[in-house]
Amino acid sequence: MNNASSAHQGDYMCVHHVHINSQNLRLQSQQLSLTVLVSVSLTEFIIRHVVVLLIMVVSTSALYVYFKTKSRRMQELKRNRPVDDGPALRLRERRRLQEN
C-alpha cells in the first residue's frame, strides 16, 4: 500500500447491499479505524541530512570569506590613507611648497 497518505487516515465502515428474492438487505460492519504512519527510508534520511549540512557549511564558509576580505580591504584603506593633522599640517605643507 504505497499510495496511502495522511488524507486516507480516519474511521471506515464496510456496508454491503444485497438484493435477494425481491428483498434489499443491508449488512454493516463495525467501525474500523485506520492510522497512516509515514516512514522514511534510512537512505533518504541520510541524504537529506548530508545535503542540509553541506548547504550550511558552504553558506557559512561563503560568509566567512566575504567578511574576511571586507575587513582586509578596510585595513588596507586605513594604512594607505594619508593622515590629516588638521590646519597646522596644511600650513606646514604650504610653507614647504613655497620654499621649493
Higher pLDDT, 63 or 86: 63
Full-model pTM:
0.43
Q: Is residue 68 part of a domain?
A: yes
Say how many domains are in the chain: 1
Q: Give CA 88 to chain center in angstroms.
A: 57
Region class of 47: left (phi > 0), else alpha (psi between -120 and 50), else beta: alpha
Q: Which domain holds residue 31?
A: 6-81
Span 7-22, pLDDT tens digits = 888 899 998 888 888 8
C-alpha–C-alpha distance, residues 71 and 76, integer Å? 9
Q: Is residue 67 part of a domain?
A: yes
Q: Is residue 97 part of a domain?
A: no
Cβ density class 57-77: b for 16+ within 10 Å, e for less: eeeeeeeeeeeeeeeeeeeee
Q: Is residue 92 part of a domain?
A: no
Q: Is residue 88 part of a domain?
A: no
Span 36-70, pLDDT tens digits = 887 778 898 899 999 999 999 999 999 999 999 99
**Residue 82 scores a pLDDT above 70:** no
CB-CB contact of 6 with 36 (8 Å): yes
Q: How many helices (H) and strands (E) does the chain have?
A: 2, 4
